[in-house]
Amino acid sequence: MQQSGHNPCPMPTPANVSKDFAAAMEALGPFEAAPHLAVAVSGGADSMALALLAHKWAGGKGGTVTALSVNHDLRREAAAECRQVRDWMADNGITHKTLRWPGVKPHSGIQAAARQARYKLLAQWCRSHNVLHLLTAHHGDDQAETLLLRLDKNSGVEGLAGMAKGRVLSGGRVRLLRPLLDRRHDDLTTFLKARKQPWLQDPSNQDTKFARVRARQQLTGDSRRTEQLLTMAREAGHERRKLRDALADLAARSVQLHPAGYCLFDPRPFQDQHAALFQPLLGDLLRCIGGGTYRPRRERLRNLAQDVLNKGSGGGLAGGRTLAGTRILTYRDRILICREAGRLPAAEGLRAAKSGHWGRFAWRLGKTDVSDLSVGALGGFGWRQVRNRAQVAFPGPVNPVLPALWRQGQVIAVPHLKLTPSDDAHEWEREITFSAQFLPQNALQPDGLMLL
């Protein structure tokens, strides 16, 4: 990146950016007393402005801000840029941390992979430091570009609503907030120039091999079209909120989401006036249980929805279905959705770790000197070992996909089954503590509704 913004300009007029930012934050609340905010800062104009605005707002409430920069190790200049951001943050009294994306990088889809890695790193930092709110600098021009891209893909009302101002990140416990969505990029650069605050320019923002750059160039200088797209996004956003409210209401009445990572739901409320809502709710359930980023493709989801609704009329789910990493089948008078056993990750050795993630579960191991432990699916082999010791009963297809603690082919613990000790268990087996908390990649609703 190259530095920009050294020439001072008049203060932003007529908009009072700081005042509008405070109003946007209040609308995203409530916040805890003396909030600690994490702000993603690349060093570009938008994120620099966000860091300064958030610092002032949080300070006024007795809180603090930590600026987080991610070094993706994709360009030689990245480390120096992170150091430059650190220095600028220090000049403004803001704590700064650099997070690094390690490992081998993919040869294709690099932007999507980098974005996924960035959010993962940011969310992990927030969770490990008990920070509840992560702010990003997406603004109105970004929103217009997003809408233009989604129009090309014939997106429905949810896609045309663009980016939401707030949502819960994958894994829960952290809210992603976008308080600048009503601001334009030029407002933010003018704000920085008035503060005599430089920023960095990312050369990839001019690389037309990326679809978003091409969309940005289509909108450059066309303020009228940008405003039309933003109006469309606001109107679609209103419809999306109504849809999500309706889905949340129906989910509360029809879905039982279990901490063991499966759900049961009753499709009968969708047979008549709520039929149009069944397909999107089913897609949300599959995404929550299966761990996907998006709902399944419309045609496959539509076919599954028809099978589910026809389950009692001679067809439907005989033999069950699999889709999006899940298994779907009838269970008594309801529908069971659990993980598909063949799509689960392999077992992972713990080495010296005492906590971590496997599948959609966050696990924690108590103090022990025993080695050769691993976390993986219980499976049919493990279930046969422990089924006579299980104190909790689950539907049959759920048991093999539960997280279990293993050692040398022997099941040591299955937290959700609450096993009684075996007669020949060693003393360390009786004393060991192991827990696994269901933390789906996506909450049942994008705004964080979880029915546990």
22-40 confidence digits (pLDDT tens):
999 999 989 999 999 999 9
CA distance 442 to 325: 13
Dihedral, 176, 40, 442, 103 alpha carbons, nearest 10:
-170
- Domain shared by 20 and 104, yes or no: yes
HEC profile for 147-183?
HHHHHHCCCCHHHHCCCCCEEECCCCCCEEECCCCCC
**Residue 269 is part of a domain; what is its CATH number?**
1.20.59
179 and 304 share one domain: no
Query: Looking at the domain assignment, is residue 448 inside a domain?
Result: no
The Cα 144–Cα 228 span in angstroms is 9
User: Is residue 213 located within the same domain as residue 111?
Assistant: yes
Residue 444 lies in a domain: no
Model confidence over 311-338: pLDDT tens digits? 644 456 778 899 999 999 999 889 999 9
Q: Which of 263, 271, 250 is nearest to 313 (CA)?
A: 271
Percent of the chain exceeding pLDDT 70 equals 89
Among 291, 314, 342, where does a domain finish?
342
Decide if 288 is inside a domain: yes
Q: Are residues 203 and 311 in the same domain?
A: no
Identify whether residues 160 and 206 lie together within a single domain: yes
Domain total in the chain: 3
Report the mean per-residue pLDDT for the chain: 86
Is the domain of 431 the same as that of 356?
yes
Of 327, 342, 357, which closes a domain? Answer: 342
96 within a domain of the structure (yes/no): yes
Instruction: Using the 3D structure, point to which of 220, 255, 286 is the last residue of a domain.
Output: 220
Give the model confidence (pLDDT) of 249-287 as tens digits: 888 888 999 999 999 988 887 776 667 788 889 998 999
- Let me know whether 337 and 375 are in one domain: no
Question: 143 Cβ partners below 8 Å, 6+ apart?
Answer: 162, 163, 181, 229, 230, 233
Two tokens, residue 246: 């309706």
Confidence of residue 228 (pLDDT cuts 50, 70, 90): confident
Q: Same structural domain for residues 175 and 300? A: no
User: Structure pTM?
Assistant: 0.69
Residues 307 and 196 in one domain: no
Q: In the prediction, which pLDDT does 331 show? A: 92
Q: How far is CA 280 from each of CA 81, 233, 284, 342, rounded to the nearest angstrom?
A: 42, 19, 6, 25
Alpha carbon separation from 218 to 135, 148, 209, 213 (Å, rounded): 27, 9, 14, 9
**What is the amino acid identity at position 244?**
R
Measured CA to CA, the distance from residue 168 to residue 183 in angstroms comes to: 22
Contacts of 154 (CB under 8 A, 6+ apart): none
pLDDT digits 0-9 by tens, 68-97: 999 998 888 999 999 999 999 999 999 999
Give the range of the structural domain holding residue 117, as residue numbers without chain letter: 2-220
